[in-house]
């Protein structure tokens, strides 16, 4: 079987990191890039690997490309600290990489939002590229929601990666403030011009799409909150774009 390096970026993830690392103990190598955590993240991680790099934060894309360069295995498998490889997915990865027919594989990600597994709302299966040949692994340069660039020959796996995305409403909105700022900067970088309709039509569109068209109502009250919060996310992102462009004009 081909060898696999698991790569993880962390910042104050002591509540998640053990669950994550336990789920990837089957890998040949675990590499952790820590953005100067102030909790027990690194201490816990040292129980699983000695390949830990503590670095000043330089953005998701930069950190992940650095991690890629530290790996020595044939394949890379990226995982976030709040994710967990299901036993079925671990077995499927091992079997698939024993005789790979592609250069990268998309896995379905099943998210747990406020204690409920979200199986609709446009979130599942939510395929993401994870196992990829090391020599072909490269990340986009987006500030947020960066991802591996898919090689031409890719395929899909069927078993899920678990994502414990938001255990509380407070956690969601703490992330929202940071992520919307990064997303607004990405919009500005791409030349997107703010329009007032961005604050009206776009949030309403995402709420209707997630809750009605993507059957978010089947995800219970969490599905309702997820659609509403996603609309708020879009509203704040474009409001911050307006602020960036207003300040730019005044300079």
- Rounded Cα gap, residues 123 and 110, in angstroms: 8
pLDDT digits (tens, 9 = 90+) for 69-96: 999 999 999 999 999 999 999 999 999 9
Count CA within 13 A, CB hemisphere, residue 251. 6
- Rounded Cα gap, residues 84 and 114, in angstroms: 17
pLDDT recorded at residue 99: 93
pLDDT recorded at residue 231: 98
State which H helix or E strand residue 92 sits in. Answer: helix 87-98
Residue among 227, 204, 203 at smallest CA distance from 120: 227
Tokens representing 206?
A: 């995402």
pLDDT digits (tens, 9 = 90+) for 201-234: 999 999 999 999 999 999 999 999 999 999 999 9
| Torsion angle defined by CA atoms of residues 216, 218, 223 and 227, in that order, rounded to the nearest 10 degrees | 20
- Rounded Cα gap, residues 204 and 97, in angstroms: 43
pLDDT recorded at residue 135: 86
pLDDT digits (tens, 9 = 90+) for 9-60: 999 999 999 999 999 999 999 999 999 999 999 999 999 999 999 999 877 7
pLDDT confidence tier of residue 199, bands split at 50, 70 and 90: very high
**All domains in the chain, ordered by first residue:** 4-165 (3.90.550.10), 168-250 (no CATH)
Question: Which of 75-79, 139-143, 153-157, 193-197 is predicted least confidently?
Answer: 139-143
pLDDT confidence tier of residue 160, bands split at 50, 70 and 90: very high
pLDDT recorded at residue 62: 78
pLDDT recorded at residue 65: 81
Give the DSSP letter string of the chain: ---EEEEEEESS-TTTHHHHHHTTTTSSEEEEEE---SSSHHHHHTTT-S-EEE-----HHHHHHHHHHH--SSEEEE--TTEEE-HHHHHHHHHHHHS-SSSEEEE-EEEEETTEEE-STTTSS--EEEEEEGGG--B---SSS--BPPPSSEEE--SPEEEEEESSHHHHHHHHHHHHHHHHHHHHHTTPPP-GGGGTHHHHHHHHIIIIIT-GGGGHHHHHHHHHHHHHHHHHHHHHHHHHHHHHHH-
pLDDT recorded at residue 59: 76
């Amino acid at each position: 079987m081909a060898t696999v390096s698991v790569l993880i970026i962390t910042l104050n993830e002591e509540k998640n990191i053990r669950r994550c690392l336990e789920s990837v103990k089957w890998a040949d190598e675990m590499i952790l890039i820590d953005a100067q955590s102030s909790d027990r993240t690194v201490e816990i991680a040292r129980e699983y690997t000695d390949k830990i790099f503590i670095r000043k934060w330089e953005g998701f894309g930069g950190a992940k490309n650095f991690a890629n360069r530290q790996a020595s295995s044939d394949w890379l498998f990226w995982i976030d600290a709040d994710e967990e490889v299901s036993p079925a997915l671990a077995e499927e990865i091992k079997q698939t990489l024993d005789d790979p027919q592609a250069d990268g594989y998309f896995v379905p990600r099943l998210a747990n939002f406020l204690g409920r597994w979200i199986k609709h709302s446009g979130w599942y299966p939510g395929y993401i590229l994870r196992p990829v040949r090391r020599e072909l692994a490269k990340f986009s340069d987006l500030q947020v929601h960066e991802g591996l660039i898919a090689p031409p020959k890719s395929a899909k796996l069927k078993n899920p990666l678990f994502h414990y995305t938001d255990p509380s409403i407070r956690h969601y909105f703490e992330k929202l403030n940071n992520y919307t700022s990064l997303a607004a900067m990405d919009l500005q970088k791409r030349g997107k011009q703010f329009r007032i309709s961005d604050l009206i039509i776009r949030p309403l569109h995402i709420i209707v799409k997630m809750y009605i068209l993507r059957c978010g109502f089947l995800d219970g009250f969490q599905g309702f909150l997820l659609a509403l919060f996603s609309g708020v996310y879009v509203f704040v992102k474009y409001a911050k774009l307006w602020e960036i462009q207003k300040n730019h004009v005044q300079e």
